[in-house]
Chain A
Amino acid sequence: SAVISQKPSRDICQRGTSLTIQCQVDSQVTMMFWYRQQPGQSLTLIATANQGSEATYESGFVIDKFPISRPNLTFSTLTVSNMSPEDSSIYLCSVTPGQVGMNTEAFFGQGTRLTVV
């Protein structure tokens, strides 16, 4: 298993500003992901955070809007840039411990509840 700590747990931000969300894992993991959960909706994958290289973004998400850093195997950040009210969501960090190719569970942080006003 893995214990994931996300910061901040919640924030209220002004439109046009940026917020950086931190994700810290208690063990080294290769696979780390960022998801968004819009109000009343399910989770949507934003990107895969790759250690030592650029993140891989899903369709509809771009690096300029959601820059991601992954400086080591236990830590990642997601920045929500130039925010608008439509960015109000819960943002979740997830890891899958173990080696690629193994059937391991995905674990999630508690999420960051972002409200943009």
Chain B
Amino acid sequence: KQEVTQIPAALSVPEGENLVLNCSFTDSAIYNLQWFRQDPGKGLTSLLLIQSSQREQTSGRLNASLDKSSGRSTLYIAASQPGDSATYLCAVRPYSGGGADGLTFGKGTHLIIQP
């Protein structure tokens, strides 16, 4: 059974710092990996999708990497801003379903950016 772990569970840093959020998964047979942010009382917003054959994806100040063989992904946030405060979730889709199965989520990293 796939298990996804996110470290740290919580992080509070001053504005402007560069951050690294970590995600690890136990079964490397994944179809893709997706990073989300969740704001209090809201649904999930997709940030980045990394296909199993890719090593990284970038969107603005966000960069996500994937090392499938070691079961790890990192989300790098450059020049953090107070608006980045949210819970960041990592999720993997299993390879076995051919991409048609649901996601397995980590418990998230609760991020606070201090002004």
| Interface of A toward B, CB cutoff 8 Å | 4, 6, 30-31, 33, 35, 41-45, 48, 58, 92, 94, 96, 100-111, 113
Contact = CB atoms under 8 A, between A and B. Distances in A.
B100 A111 contact: no
Interface string B58-99: 000000000000000000000000000000010101000011
B25 interface: no
Contact of A113 (B34, B41, B91): B41
Interface of B: 31-32, 34, 36, 41-46, 49, 51-52, 89, 91, 93, 98-108
Contact of A103 (B31, B41, B106): B31
29 contacts: A41-B107, A42-B89, A42-B106, A42-B107, A42-B108, A43-B103, A43-B105, A44-B105, A45-B103, A48-B100, A94-B44, A94-B103, A100-B98, A100-B99, A101-B98, A103-B49, A103-B51, A104-B49, A104-B99, A105-B46, A105-B49, A106-B103, A108-B36, A108-B43, A108-B44, A108-B46, A109-B43, A110-B42, A113-B41
Listed from nearest, the 5 A-B pairs whose CB atoms lie closest are A45-B102, A108-B44, A110-B43, A103-B51, A42-B105
A81 B66 CA distance: 40
Contacts of B106: 42
Nearest to B100: A100
Contacts of B102: 33, 35, 45, 48, 58, 94
A20 to B, nearest CB: 19
B89 A43 contact: yes
A108 B107 CA distance: 17
A100 B99 CA distance: 6
